Amino acid sequence: MIIPDYLKPGDKICFVSPSGKIEPEKVKSACHLLEKEKFIVSVGKNTFEQHFQFAGTDNQRLEDLQQALDDSECKAIFCTRGGYGAIHIAGQINFNKFLNHPKWLIGFSDITVLHALLQKEGVCSIHGAMCAYYYEENKPSVSYKELLKTLKGEKKPVILPSVPENRTGYAKGPLTGGNLSLLYSLIGTPFEMKTEGRILFIEDLSEYLYHIDRMMYSLRLSGKLKNIAGLIVGQMTELKDNNSPFGQNVREIIINAVKGYDYPVCFNYPAGHVKLNLPLKLGAEHSLSITSENVIFREI
């Protein structure tokens, strides 16, 4: 996998909105933080457009993203938010110029679609915080600070206390994944994820328990869970149940979906739709060690 150059003061970075619409103030606040780091910040001309729930029409969103991808001076593309819409433009993106000047792409949730495209092109990207997560109590958040460290090249292991549902073991391989709903939606398309020999990360938001079960079984039936090196489950937030209960919680659902496989499984990883949303370098080689006492996850 190609690892883009890490950021340094004076580098140009670009903000774009490839999915849902966003309030300008959130982007302006994010720009202010990054300008304090001595980056040259550019904002796509259609970033604040609105077309129903989208940040402009498909053509407007594609135009900004394509321009940032093609810009040889741009060193990182910051997606302003997720929502929905990246899948509309996925099949029209051209990576020819981008591959001559690879750069970081940062985001999560709906941005999983773009991460999947970059995995296919053989370029690492960062599943990490977007504008709404850069501040906490009017101060730069831990999520933002850790993202910045990653973009500058720091490689710090994440050490967590183990939870009872974890499955112990050791795994090594490239990291892949993102939002479960988006990974599920890409199965059968040219952009579906490759999982064999890789550490798979998943997270999700506001889904019904039965739908989590459906998506996990779809991954199992399509072979996506069979030969992975390990599984990391991020935050599954604001999940819902029907009036007639599903009968399993989300951890039980996932344990059932990986039944019969012997790789390590980590629950409660601090990434997803939560305040503490630690960056993950997708495509890079990682190791995952799980014991009954702790979890150690590191880039290698």
Q: How far apart are CA 258 and CA 225, in angstroms?
A: 7
DSSP 171-223: EEEEEEEEEHHHHHHTTTSTTPPP-TTSEEEEEEES-BHHHHHHHHHHHHHTT
- Residue 227 has a pLDDT of 97
pLDDT in tens, 144-198: 999 999 999 999 999 999 999 999 999 999 999 999 999 999 999 999 999 999 9
Res 156: pLDDT: 94
Distance (Å, whole) CA 267 – CA 236:
10
Question: How buried is residue 50: exposed, middle or buried, by Cβ count under 10 Å (0-12/13-18/19+)?
Answer: middle
- Predicted pLDDT at 101: 97
pLDDT at residue number 193? 95
Position 136 confidence tier, pLDDT thresholds 50, 70, 90? very high
Give the C-alpha separation, 251 to 243, whole Å: 20
Tell me what pLDDT residue 235 has: 98
Averaged pLDDT for residues 242-252: 98
pLDDT score recorded for residue 241: 98
- Please return the burial class of 49, using the count of CB atoms within 10 Å of its CB with bins 0-12, 13-18 and 19+: middle
Helix (H, G, I), strand (E, B) or coil at 14: strand
Q: Residue 116 and residue 108: Cα distance in Å, rounded? A: 11
Task: Please give the mean pLDDT across all residues of the chain.
Answer: 98
Task: Say if domain 158-299 classifies as CATH 3.30.1950.10.
Answer: no
Q: What is the mean pLDDT of residues 272-291?
A: 98
Residue 70 pLDDT level (bands cut at 50, 70, 90): very high
pLDDT tens sequence across 13-67: 999 999 999 999 999 999 999 999 999 999 999 999 999 999 999 999 999 999 9
Res 251: pLDDT:
98
Residue 246: alpha-carbon gap to chain centroid: 28
Share of the chain above pLDDT 70, in %: 100
Stated pTM of the model:
0.97
Reported confidence tier of residue 255, pLDDT bands at 50, 70, 90: very high
User: How do beta strands 125-127 and 139-140 pair?
Assistant: unpaired
Q: Helix, strand, or coil here: 32?
A: helix
In this prediction, residue 247 has a pLDDT band, given cuts at 50, 70 and 90, of very high
Which H/E stretch holds residue 150? helix 142-151
Q: What's the CATH superfamily of 12-151?
A: Murein tetrapeptidase LD-carboxypeptidase, N-terminal domain (3.40.50.10740)
Q: Is the dihedral of CA 44, 90, 87, 265 positive or negative?
A: negative
Q: What's the confidence (pLDDT) of residue 9?
A: 98
Per-residue CA distances from 139 to 29, 84, 143, 151, 205 (Å): 11, 28, 11, 20, 25
Phi, psi at residue 146, to the nearest 5°?
-70, -35
Q: Which residues contact 59 (CB under 8 A, 6 or more apart)?
A: none
For the chain, the structural domain boundaries read 12-151, 158-299
